[in-house]
Amino acid sequence: MSHHLFFPLFSLIFFLLLFSVTSRQNSYRILKSSSSSSSSSCPLNFKDVKPLLQLSNVNPSNDLDSNCASILGVLRIILSEYLNLTGSFYPPLNLAESCWNSYDSAVDSFIPGFKIRSSCGFRTQWISEGCMNISTKSEFEKLVQPDLNDVVSNCNQSLYDSFCATCLTSIATMRISYLTGANNGNISDCTNMPFIYVSGVINQYGPSDPGTAKCLLSLDLSSDENGNSLKKRLLISLISVVSFVGLCCFIGGFFYYLRLKKEKERKARRKRRMGRVGSGSGSNLQSINGSTHLIKYSLDEIKQATNKFHRDNLIGKGGYGNVYKGVLPNGADIAVKRFKNCSAAGDAGFTHEVEVVASIRHVNLVELRGYCVATTNLEGHQRLIVCDLMPNGSLHDHLFGEFASEKKLSWPIRQKIALGMARGLAYLHYGAQPAVIHRDIKASNILLDENFEAIVADFGLAKFNPEGFTHLSTRVAGTLGYVAPEYALYGQLTERSDVFSFGVVLLELLSGKKAILSGNDEQGQPLLVTDWAWSLVRKGHILDVIEEEMPELGSDQIIEKYVLTAVLCSHPQLYARPTMDQVVKILETDLPVPCIPERPISFTAELEDIERSFSNNGFGHFSIY
Ligand SMILES: *[C@@H]1O[C@H](CO)[C@@H](O)[C@H](O)[C@H]1NC(C)=O
Ligand SMILES: *[C@@H]1O[C@H](CO)[C@@H](O)[C@H](O)[C@H]1NC(C)=O
Ligand SMILES: *[C@@H]1O[C@H](CO)[C@@H](O)[C@H](O)[C@H]1NC(C)=O
C-alpha cells in the first residue's frame, strides 16, 4: 500500500481520483435524483433520462449517427419503463409532439440546440406508432402467448455474454407469431416491439441495467468513453500543471493501481452475479432445449412412417441427402430428410444446429417438427429431420414437375409466391438470430402450402453467419445454375449470394424456364436463364420474359417491376444486387427498381470455370435437374 507513504498533496489527489472513479460507477444512481424538466402533458417519464444520456456518451464531439443511435436507445429504455408502468407501448398520438419536446429539452443539456427529429430523421408520429395494431401489453401477450414461457425462462436474468444469445434466440422464436417484415430503424416497430417488451416487462433488472440495455436495446451504458472521461481528463491536466514529471509517474502508477482494483472488483461482482444466475435457473443447456418444441423420434417410428424409406416414398434428392414422405400413426403427413454420410462424431453439433434452426420461425420458413439420431448395425449412423409435408409440393413441381402439366400458376399466385420467398429470406438475413445465409435456394426448396403461400425450406444446412460479415468458405454448397458466381468461383459467401439465387428462382417463376435452359445458345453452350432474361431486358423486351399463356396477368407496369427486380437480383456483380429487405420493399410498395448496371462479361464464359471447380474438388453437392 504505497499510497500511505505520500505527502498530503498526494493524498488529496488520490481522493480526488478515487472520487472520480466511484462517482462514475454510481453516477447513474447519484444523478438519478437530479430531475430535469418534464412536460406535464407527455406521459413518458423523462426525469431519469439525463444520467442515461450521459452514460451512453451523448455529446457534441460524437458523430451524428452514434448520437442518434444512443438517443434512440435511451428512448427505448423510457418506452420500456412506460410499458412496465402503464401497460402501453407508446404515448397517444396527440401527445407525440410534447414528448419529443420534453426529450429535446433533456438532450439540450448535452448537445445545446439539438432537435432530435430533424437531426436524426424521425417523424413526430413514430413515437406513437407501433407494429400493426398492437398498442398494449395484453394485446402483445395474447399474440405471443405460446412462446412466453421460454422468453421468461431465458430473458429474466442478467443478460451478459452467452445469456444474451440465449435470450435473443427465444425472442426470435417469439416474433414469428405476427412479424411480417423487418423494419429496422423505427422506434417501437415490429422489429423493436419484442425487445421493448422483454426489457420492460420480463427482465428483472429492467431496461436501464447495462447488460439488458446492451443486449436488447443496442445501447452501451458502460463504455469507457463515457461521461466521466472528460472529468478525468480535466483532472489530469490540472495535476500536470502543479506537478513535476517525476510526480506524474507516480500518478500514472495510481491510475494503474486503481484500474487494476476496479477490474478486480468488476470481475468479482460479475462472478457473483453469474453464480446467482447459474444456480437460479438450472442448467443453461436445459433452457435451450426447452425453447423449442422439437420431438425426438426413434428410427423405428420414422421407418414405419416412411415404409422403411421405400422408393415410392422418395420425393426429393439433393447433395446432402434424400427426402421421403411419410405418415405418422396419428395421420399427420410428414417429410423426412435423411442426411448422407454421417458419423457419430458430429451429433452434438447436429442437435444444436437443429435446435437453433427450429427456433427460427416465420410464416414463410419451414417449421421443423422433430429429428432423429440413431446408429444401427445395418445402416450405420443416421441423422434425420422431420417437417410437415406441404400439400402443394414445391415450386419446382409446379413449374417443371408433376403438377406442370396441370393448370399453369396464375399471375396473382406467382406474385404471392415471389413475395413470400422474399419475406422468408429477408427474415433469415435480418430478422433471425443468428443471421442465416441459406446457400441453396432453388425452385425445389420453395414449398407451397395449401394456400400457395411460399415456404422456404432446407435452410437447416446453412452455416450460421458469424456477425453477418463476409467470409470465405472452403466448401461450396449450392446447385448449378442458382449459385452466385463469386461464391462458386472464390467461395465468397454473403447474403448477396442468396439474393442471386433468389433472382434466378424469381426468373424461373416468371418465365417458366429452368435455371439452365435446355436449348443451347448459338455457340452450343448452355444458356442461363439470367443471361437470357438480361438479353431481352437490354433490348427493351421486358414483357417477353413472362411465360406464355399465364392466366390472370396483371398490369404491364407491375409485371415489368418483377422482371427487372429478378434481373437485378441475379446480376453477376455482387454490389449491383439489392438486399432482401430492399427486394421486399420494392415488391411491396411503389418504390422503383434501381437502374441495372451493365454486365462485365458474358456469364456463360464463366460457366466452364464453375464446372471445372466442381470436378476438381470432387464436391458431391451439385445437382442439375
Ligand atoms: C388494424 O385495425 C384496423 C381497424 O381495427 C383494421 O382494419 C386493420 O386491418 C388492422 N391492421 C392489421 C395489420 O391488423
Ligand atoms: C417507420 O415507420 C413509418 C410508419 O410507421 C414508416 O413510414 C417508415 O418508413 C419507417 N421507417 C423505417 C426506417 O423503416
Ligand atoms: C423474474 O424473476 C424475478 C426474480 O426471480 C421475479 O420476481 C419476477 O417475477 C420474474 N419475472 C417474470 C416476468 O416472471
CATH at residue 611: 1.10.510.10
Using the 3D structure, point to which of 389, 413, 429 is the last residue of a domain.
389
Q: Is 312 a catalytic residue?
A: no
Residues 362 and 403 in one domain: no
Residue nearest to atom 8 of ligand 2 (CA): 186
- 419 and 336 share a domain? no
Residue 334 domain boundaries? 278-389
Q: Kind and range of the H or E element at 545?
A: none
User: Is 408 in the same domain as 438?
Assistant: yes
294 CA distance to ligand 3 centroid (A)? 26
Three-state DSSP class for residue 492 = strand
Mutation choice for ligand 3 from 156, 170, 197, 203, CB with most ligand atoms inside 8 A: 156
Same domain, 169 and 311: no
Do 573 and 495 share a structural domain? yes
CA of 503 to the centre of ligand 1 (A): 32
Q: Give the atom of ligand 1 at the shortest distance from the alpha carbon of 132.
A: 13
User: Considering Cα of 593, then 599, then 602, then 608, what sign does the dihedral take?
Assistant: negative
pLDDT band at 192 (very low <50, low <70, confident <90, very high): confident
Has residue 165 been placed in a domain?
Answer: yes
Ligand 3 in reach of 202 Cβ (< 6 A):
yes
What is the predicted pLDDT for the residue at 223? 53
User: Which protein residue has the closest C-alpha to ligand 2 atom 4?
Assistant: 126
Which residue did the predictor score with more confidence, 119 or 251? 119
**Per-residue pLDDT at 149:** 85
Residue whose C-alpha cell is 416497430: 189
In this predicted model, which residue has the larger pLDDT, 326 or 479? 326
CA distance 576 to 205: 45
With respect to residue 306, please indicate whether it lies within any of the assigned structural domains: yes
pTM: 0.49
Residues 169, 297 share a domain: no
Task: Indicate if 384 and 423 belong to the same structural domain.
Answer: no
Whether residues 356 and 460 fall in one domain: no
Q: Which ligand is located closest to the Cα atom of residue 197? A: 3
Q: Got the DSSP string for 322-383?
A: EEEEEE-TTS-EEEEEEESS--GGGHHHHHHHHHHHHH---TTB--EEEEEEEEETTTEEEE
Least confident of 181-185, 325-329, 534-538: 181-185
Which ligand sits nearest to residue 130's alpha carbon? 2
Q: One of 440, 498, 531, 581 is an active-site residue; which one?
A: 440
Ligand 1 proximity of 134 Cβ (cutoff 6 Å): no
For 477-500, what is the mean pLDDT?
82
Residue 91 domain flag: yes
Q: Taking residues 445-464, report their average pLDDT.
A: 80
Q: Which candidate, 135, 157, 168, 163, places its Cα nearest to that of 202?
A: 157
**Among 389, 406, 434, where does a domain finish?**
389
**563 is a domain residue:** yes
pLDDT of residue 17: 43
User: Would 32 be classed as within a structural domain?
Assistant: no
Predicted confidence at residue 564, as pLDDT, reads: 95
In contact, 190 and 179? CB cutoff 8 Å: yes
Cα(212) to ligand 3 centroid in Å equals 15
pLDDT tens digits, 566-579: 999 999 888 889 99
pLDDT tens by residue, 204-230: 999 988 889 888 888 888 654 444 444
In a domain, 259, yes or no: no
CA nearest ligand 3 atom 8, residue: 204
SS3 content of the chain, % helix, strand, coil (to 5): 55, 10, 35
| 415 in the same domain as 356 | no
Task: Identify whether 25 is part of a domain.
Answer: no
Locate 470 and state its grid cell.
Answer: 463476409
430 in any annotated domain:
yes
Q: Are residues 549 and 446 in the same domain?
A: yes
Q: Is the CB of residue 391 below 6 angstroms from any atom belonging to ligand 2?
A: no
Q: Mean pLDDT, to the nearest integer, of 185-207?
A: 83
Number of structural domains the chain divides into = 3
Which bound ligand lies closest to the C-alpha atom of 129? Answer: 2
pLDDT on residue 286: 28
The last residue of a domain, from among 222, 255, 289: 222
Ligand 2 midpoint to CA 185 (Å): 8
In the prediction, which pLDDT does 467 show?
A: 31
DSSP state of 5: G
Ligand minimally distant from the alpha carbon of residue 201: 3
Return the percentage of the chain with pLDDT > 70, whole number: 69
- pLDDT exceeds cutoff 90 at 492: no
If residue 163 lies in a helix (H) or strand (E), which one and from where to where? helix 161-175
Average pLDDT, the chain: 75
- Ligand 2, atom 2, lies closest to the CA of 186
Q: Do 482 and 611 lie in a common domain?
A: yes
Residue 284 to residues 167, 277, 528, Cα–Cα distance (Å): 11, 10, 49
Buried b (16+ CB within 10 A) or exposed e, 551-568: eebeeeeebbbbbbbbbb
CATH label of the domain that carries residue 313: 3.30.200.20
How far is ligand 2, taken at its centre, from the CA of residue 584, in Å?
Answer: 14
Determine the distance separating the centroid of ligand 3 and the alpha carbon of 204, expressed in angstroms: 6
Q: Is the pLDDT of residue 280 over 50?
A: no
Same domain, yes or no: 216 and 96: yes
Which of 129, 131, 132, 133 has most ligand 1 atoms within 8 Å of CB, for mutation? 133
